[in-house]
Homo-oligomer: A and B are copies of this chain.
Amino acid sequence: MADHPTRPTIKTLSEMTGFSIATISKALNDSPVVTQATKAAIRQAAGQIGYAASLRGMSLRTGRTYQVAVLMPVASASGFEWDGVDYAQILSGIAAGLEGSPYRMSVHVVRDAAEGLATARQVVEGHLADGLIFSGIQAQDPRVEYLCAVGFPFVTLGRCRGDLTYAHVDVDSDWAAWAATARLIAGGHRRIALINPDPRLSYALDRIDGFTRAFAQVGLPVPQDLILGGDLSTRFGKEAAMSLSRLPDPATGFVCVNESTALGALAGLRDLGFDIGRAASVIAYDDINASAYFAPPLTTFYLPIEDLGRQLGGFLLRRLAGEDPATLQQLTRPDLVARQSDRLERVSPWEGNT
């Protein structure tokens, strides 16, 4: 393809300056064995012709690829359903975190954890990247175990359970579920549903922990029958809300895992003729900021998803620079955004219904 005739190489610089390619290389890498005068001359020449090292050449020689691989999960999608996850924001954040470094981002689509492990293997064994970033961490995650075992640098969005030490960024789901549940309990709700993701996911367990703790704290029994796990689709949220509202002793409050399921829950309750806001309260993680426009607007926990991505990128760079993974761990507590009343207005034990 039409390049500028041929782009300059280290050899071009060698001919320009009269120094050997070895010296050029060392100068550009700021090696201490080269004199300042030589470095200056070489850099000047490099700047003049706009030299940029060929990643291919560097890559072959050093074994590094200057690539960071991201495993992007997509719902297995038999008939696409919105899952409310704006992965583009995460990617954007990661890219921002990588900015200024020579690392670029390659994205590998994975449909489930098994495929994720296979892809991680490919990346490691095929030297397709120098580091890995992924999410959707399971309580016991084969990818984390594998990568720890082979010593390949990676950062995860989420933590698995177990005592492995690795770099990660996570949201305090335990706390968020606790806070949401406690809020609804304080509002008079007793039959509170936990609309949860796939129970194999680590943060699904965190949420159950927080949910449970909120009840235990005030000495109330945990409504085990109202904990439902599924995917993140709107459809699941709707089905879950409908089935839990049809129980003899129905749920009045819903702690949803994200906005997509919350939207589904709203739709389900509406379909059953409930007056949301009076009959039920819905609380969600807020990662795309759409719940403000729902009817009614939802109380959410705001998740700065792009910032998390930025952290992931930054952590990976530091990990690649050799930093100890134990120092690269961060837990973010999301901010509560109160929008809709969380009071139970229908059957509150301590206040009349208004």
- Residues on A facing B (Cβ under 8 Å): 1-4, 7, 52, 54-57, 59-60, 65, 67, 70, 72, 74, 77, 80-82, 85-89, 91-92, 95-96, 104-109, 124-128, 150-153, 234, 238, 260, 263-264, 266-267, 270, 288-290, 292-295, 305-306
Contact = CB atoms under 8 A, between A and B. Distances in A.
Nearest to A263: B293
A106 B105 contact: yes
A306 B80 contact: yes
Number of copies of this kind of chain in the complex: 2
A1 B150 contact: yes
Specify which of A60, A293, A305 lies most central, judged by the most chain B CB atoms within 10 Å of its CB.
Answer: A293
B106 A67 contact: yes
Given A82-B86, A293-B264, A91 B77 contact: no
12 contacts: A1-B151, A2-B152, A3-B125, A55-B128, A70-B107, A82-B86, A82-B288, A87-B87, A91-B107, A104-B106, A105-B106, A264-B293
A127 B65 contact: no
A172 B57 CA distance: 44
A314 to B, nearest CB: 15
A28 B126 CA distance: 18
Contacts of A288: 80, 82
A289 B81 contact: yes
A234 B70 CA distance: 29
Nearest to A69: B104
A65 B57 CA distance: 12
B88 A72 contact: yes
Contacts of A89: 74, 80
A128 B107 CA distance: 15
Given A74-B88, A109-B92, A127 B56 contact: yes
